[in-house]
Structure 1
Amino acid sequence: MERAQLYTLLFCFAVQNTTGYQLITTDANRIKDLEKIALDLQTQVKQLMRQQRAQNIKMERMEALTKYCEKMCKRVETEENDLVVNENLTNKLMPDFSKSDVLNSTQNVHQRRKRIALNSRIDMQQKPLVNAIVDEVAFYAYMSENLQDPGHGQALVFQTAVTNVGNQYNHHNGVFTAPDQGVYVFTWTIVVTANGYIYTQIFVNSDVLGAMYTSAYGVDNARTTTAIVVKHLDTMDVVSIRVNMHGALSGSIMSNEYYKSSFSGWKIF
């Protein structure tokens, strides 16, 4: 009888464990589905923001062109008014002025108008109508203190922004946002403690762009590595540095008065 009771208890325990495992697996699958939905929504939002940004740039250019045309029209109108005033003064002060002289004066005025129009076209070709595209973008930031025992998949934040031209780097979350499309350069430096090692990656949105391995395994002092990437970005693309989700990981990231773990980037064109 005791053996039968024991078998019954073991059977019940096995059933409970199986049910609990199934519940955990179901919850994990639900979490993955929600993460996928969130990522899809984030991608859609970024696309809408890019379209809005492009539309705003077009509107700014049209407004600038309209203002420029209005300015040139006023300039031509002023020249014509000056011509009328000069002709009236000439008729009053010199009524016997020869026709040939009047014709020459008129031709000079027309030539002057042509020169003004030519110079205006040259100005439009040489100078941008509006500085809608942000060309000056650059940042350099480093961790303000050591990062103890970072975890797999952890986003790395470089809190101290020494340079942030364009204000596109967020020192609160470590993310850079591209203000406009173009070719950008990014570089990051990681320092690990003695006997430590870590894999890091650079992401553009949710895609891995580059990776780096920093190792001080078997040595008694810190080690430093730096990686660099070049990428064409679209408007509102985001760039960040994270710890590899699956790579070997041990020790801490150093950043102090002797070492600086840092993140930098700038736009080429």
Structure 2
Amino acid sequence: MMEGFKIAMDAQISHKEILERKINDLSQTVQNLRKGIHSLQRENLQQNSMITKLQANEALCQKLMDGFNSNTSFTMKMFDQTFSDSPLHAPAAKQSKAVLSKRTANDIRKETLLNPVPTVSSSEEPIAFYAYMTQRLSSPSAFHTLVFDKTITNSGYGYHNASGIFIVPKTGLYVFTWTIQLNKNAYHSTELVVSNAIQGAAFLSVSQLEGSVSGTAIVHANLGDDAFVRTKSTYNAGDIYSSAIGRTFFAGWRLS
């Protein structure tokens, strides 16, 4: 009877081990899916940004061509008025008109394609974001990405409040700033990560009263780079707070 009981126990242990392995496999699959989703989000943002740039370039090229054609038409009229009364200059007028017509048809396309076309104008929408946490984060572990779920400003659509990550929509110089709010008996060290490089850090320890700490960094970032705030590998204990009294937030904007 004892032998039968032992066999049954061994079978249950084996079944438990199989279930644990399946759970571990499923957990790994979920992690891989999350990575895949994040990668697709980055690719989609890059494609949307490229489409926006191409559309802006197309519109600007059309304006340049329209303006050039208008100037060319005006210049031809001036030639007509200047040389129409002088038969001696008629061949020169015809030749000049032919040169201008040829330039309109060929050279303007070549210049438009070969010369760099600016995509930034005074009317372009600025890039800036601001978001904060709406609730307390209980005892985050090391390398925990902070998610600022309430988006107030997202001009340029680079910030993603589901992941807490800002994906750079346009290459340039950026300012990033963040503030962490703590309550009694807590300490945390947080860091700003841009394109897998730590660009800033801030530490705070409180005992009896609540407090906050802020960090700011000015960083050059390229199109598609990630920017987010996370806890450091050490010096983390207690909860991170965010309320109407004091917000834990993340913000940034493009300088140039």
Q: TM-score, normalised by structure 1?
A: 0.64
Distance in 1, matches of 2:176 and 2:9, equals: 55
> Equivalents in 1 of 2:125, 2:30: separation in Å?
38
The equivalent of 1:79 in structure 2 is 75
Distance 1:42 1:171, change over 3 A: closer
**Which residue number corresponds to residue 176 of structure 1?**
166
- Cα distance, 1:48 vs. partner? 5.8
SS of match in other structure, 2:136: coil
Deviations 1:97-144 (A, max 9, x none): xx8xx9xxx9xxxxxx9xxxxxxxxxx9xxx6543796832333444x
* 3-state SS in 2 of match to 1:235: coil
| Aligned pair partner of 1:261 in 244, 248, 255 | 248
Conserved? CA contact 1:60–1:130, under 8 Å:
yes
Distance (whole Å) between structure 2 residues aligned to residue 47 and residue 172 of structure 1:
17
Larger radius of gyration: 1
Shift in Å at residue 252 of structure 1?
3.9
How far 1:20 moved relative to its partner? 0.6
Structure 1 letter corresponding to 2:24: A
Identity percentage of aligned residues: 18
Matching of residue 137 in structure 1 with residue 124 in structure 2: no
Question: C-alpha distance in 1, partners of 2:137/2:250?
Answer: 18
Decide which of 58, 66, 71 is 1:70's aligned counterpart.
66
CA separation in 1, counterparts of 2:131 and 2:11?
54
| Residue 107 of structure 2: aligned partner | none
What is the Cα-based RMSD across aligned positions, in Å?
A: 4.2
| Displacement after TM superposition at 1:146 (Å) | 4.7
1:240 aligns with 2:225: no
SS at match of 2:241: coil
Q: Which has the higher strand share?
A: 2
Aligned length: 232
Deviation at 1:155, TM superposition (A): 3.8
State the AA in 2 paired with 1:70. Answer: D
Change (3 A) 1:147 1:34: closer
**TM-score, with length taken from structure 2:** 0.67
| Corresponding residue number in structure 1 for 2:186 | 196
**In the alignment, which residue of structure 2 is the partner of 1:209?**
198
Shift of 1:81: 1.2
AA matched with 1:54: M
Query: Could you report, residue by residue, the CA deviation over 1:65-119 in whole angstroms, capped at 9, with x for unpaired residues?
Result: 243133112212212213323544x57xxx9xxx8xx9xxx9xxxxxx9xxxxxx
What is the letter of the counterpart of residue 226 of structure 1? S
Contact 1:159 1:172 in 2 (8 A): no
Aligned to 1:186: 176
Give the 3-state SS of the residue equivalent to 1:36 in structure 2. Answer: helix
Q: Given the alignment, which residue of 47, 56, 59 partners 1:60?
A: 56
Distance 1:166 1:247, change over 3 A: same
Q: Matched residues in 1 for 2:202 and 2:7: separation? A: 50
Change in 2 beyond 3 A, CA 1:232/1:16: farther
